[in-house]
Structure 1
Amino acid sequence: MIIETWLPKILAASGSLAAGVVLLAGLSVGARFAAISASAMCDYISPAADQPRSPQSRKTPPRTAIGVCAELLSGQQPTETAAGTGRGMIAAQAALRMRGIPYSWGGGGPAGPSLGIGRGAQTRGFDCSGLAEYAWAKTGARIGGDTSVQWKTGIHVPRSQIRAGDLIFFAYNTANPATIHHVGIAIDAIRMVHAPHTGSTVRIDTWAGVPSREREFIGAVRPR
């Protein structure tokens, strides 16, 4: 298993996400994020065109987002103080720096993008699990290059506690981890950076509130 650019608002969120985000995701986050530099730029991608949005999510203002993405891109010292968050920030930053790299089936690993296999044999890039492996290798963790291994590589965290760097998994049958087919790296509880499919590139997408993603969301893992 193997853009819209905008200047985010300066926010100092604590306790839960802003109301518009709550409408989109239907969840809250206990993690706290500090205000970020006004000069920090961040890409914000709404749900992909091939992923239908629910009527509820269409009501959400398109630029509603917390500042964690810009904080990650700015290279600042992580502001969350919970144990393990620093490593997650490093992983998320590493994945974000790969935006624009082509998707390549079977491509990518700890050293970065590589030629894939099969339909990815002529493309230097990442598939979803290759990007995850690369991102966490930057923290010194070895999580393997396949989603089935990555699913077992850390602690499973409740959806309400997802934070930057956590691995977000999707399965054809959410009752059966053997059907996991995709993984992304969390930016926050709403969005992820991932390598979606052949013909795409590494990018940021919203997953929370997107019906196709919600149906397949099986859980989140925080690598050890």
Structure 2
Amino acid sequence: MPQEARRRTAVVMIVLACALTGAPAVWAQTGPRPFGGNHWTPAPPAGQRPAGTAGTGTRLGDLAADWALTQLGKPYTWAAAGPRAYDCSGLTMRAWQRAGVGLSHWTGTQWTSGPKISLDAVRRGDLLFFGHRGRDPAAIRHVGIYIGGGLMVHAPRTGDVVRVASIWRPHLVGVVRPRDRAAV
């Protein structure tokens, strides 16, 4: 097995094990942060953390989260939707496509892809949205997929790779649980 494939497999196993046990997996993130510094915010007190952990997602949410974790280490490329590179909404679109739910390739329309979920009810596979000006779809700038234990998998920005990160960062706008429009 090539070294890169072994590394990705090891990272996925570490992240899944941490999510199952509730242990923090921040140290399991892939690669260095390209611009230096730490822009992530610390987690809130225990009483304000989401209850969702690995295995508590919906069946489709688990499928989407599990598939997204197989893409760790692939580069961020603006407007990319795989299989070699992703932007944030391209990764979430493909992950939910693997679960049988169609999403568009834009964070603004993904924001409207299902019901809004409170942070204390977040489950694996739910989409986490980040922006600077409230809940206006045009102002949402980033999306990630919740994987449990206060962590998400996302494609952060140019020069970075698909990685696991804490959901506790500035500008969390809200959570959406995508649904199959045909089933509604």
What is the TM-score normalised by the length of structure 2?
A: 0.72
Alpha-carbon separation, structure 2, partners of 1:147 and 1:9? 28
Alpha-carbon separation, structure 2, partners of 1:135 and 1:106? 15
Q: 2:28 matched to which residue of 1?
A: 44
Q: 1:145 matched to which residue of 2?
A: 105
Alpha-carbon separation, structure 1, partners of 2:115 and 2:172? 16
The runs of 5 or more residues in structure 2 that have no matched partner are: 1-6, 47-51, 180-184
Deviations 1:65-100 (A, max 9, x none): x973xxxxxxxxxx43xxx71100000011000001
1:87 paired to 2:60: yes
Q: 2:123 matched to which residue of 1?
A: 163
Shift of 1:151: 0.4
Identity in percent: 37
Higher RCO (Cα < 8 Å, 6 or more apart): 2
Q: Provide the aligned length of Structure 1 versus Structure 2.
A: 158
Q: 1:217 matched to which residue of 2?
A: 172
1:177 paired to 2:164: no
CA RMSD of aligned residues (A): 3.5
Alpha-carbon separation, structure 2, partners of 1:132 and 1:10? 19
Alpha-carbon separation, structure 2, partners of 1:204 and 1:138? 19
In the alignment, which of 96, 119, 124 is matched to residue 69 of structure 2? Answer: 96
Give matches, 1:1-224, under 5 Å. Answer: 6=14, 8=17, 44-45=28-29, 50-52=37-39, 68=54, 79-80=55-56, 85-108=58-81, 112-113=82-83, 124-188=84-148, 190-208=150-168, 213-214=169-170, 216-224=171-179
Aligned partner of residue 130 in structure 2, secondary structure: strand
- Asked if structure 2 preserves the Cα contact closer than 8 Å seen for 1:131 and 1:195, the reply is yes
Q: 1:96 to 1:11 in 2, by over 3 A?
A: closer
Shift of 1:189: 5.5
Aligned partner of residue 178 in structure 1, secondary structure: helix
Q: 2:182 matched to which residue of 1?
A: none
Deviations 1:170-224 (A, max 9, x none): 011125332000000011261100000011110001122xxxx23x110000000
Q: 1:92 to 1:11 in 2, by over 3 A?
A: closer
Alpha-carbon separation, structure 2, partners of 1:67 and 1:141? 22
Alpha-carbon separation, structure 2, partners of 1:174 and 1:146? 17
Aligned partner of residue 170 in structure 1, secondary structure: strand
What is the TM-score normalised by the length of structure 1?
A: 0.60
Alpha-carbon separation, structure 2, partners of 1:157 and 1:67? 15
Alpha-carbon separation, structure 2, partners of 1:219 and 1:45? 23
- Asked if structure 1 preserves the Cα contact closer than 8 Å seen for 2:61 and 2:124, the reply is yes
Aligned partner of residue 141 in structure 2, secondary structure: strand
The runs of 5 or more residues in structure 1 that have no matched partner are: 22-41, 61-65, 69-78, 114-123
- Asked if structure 2 preserves the Cα contact closer than 8 Å seen for 1:9 and 1:67, the reply is no
